[in-house]
Amino acid sequence: MSIRIVFCLIFSLAFVAIGLAAPPPPPGGSPSCWPPPCIPIDGGITFLMAAGALYGGKKLYDKKQKKNSELQ
């Protein structure tokens, strides 16, 4: 019972802290990268993260299959 109370308190405090955060600064001013034009790298990073996750999943699957074949 006390774990639920502690969890609820922590969750409530985190929720309030997020709500009290300062708003973002107004847009404008100098560009965030120099020299313009800025080139986004989001697509490449997303692809690399997905490829890494798939590679790790395959390694875990192969390890599980090897362990199961050794047990038989």
Output the CA–CA distances (angstroms, integers) from residue 12 to 4, 33, 68, in the order listed.
12, 38, 45
Name residues whose C-beta falls within 8 Å of residue 38's C-beta, 6 or more positions apart in sequence.
31, 32
Name residues whose C-beta falls within 8 Å of residue 31's C-beta, 6 or more positions apart in sequence.
38
Query: Residue ranges per domain, the chain?
Result: 39-72
Q: How far apart are CA 59 and CA 51, in angstroms?
A: 12
Taking only the tens place, the pLDDT of each residue in 9-44 is 888 888 888 777 777 777 776 666 766 677 776 667
Is the whole model's pTM more than 0.85, yes or no? no
Q: How far apart are CA 69 and CA 72, in angstroms?
A: 5
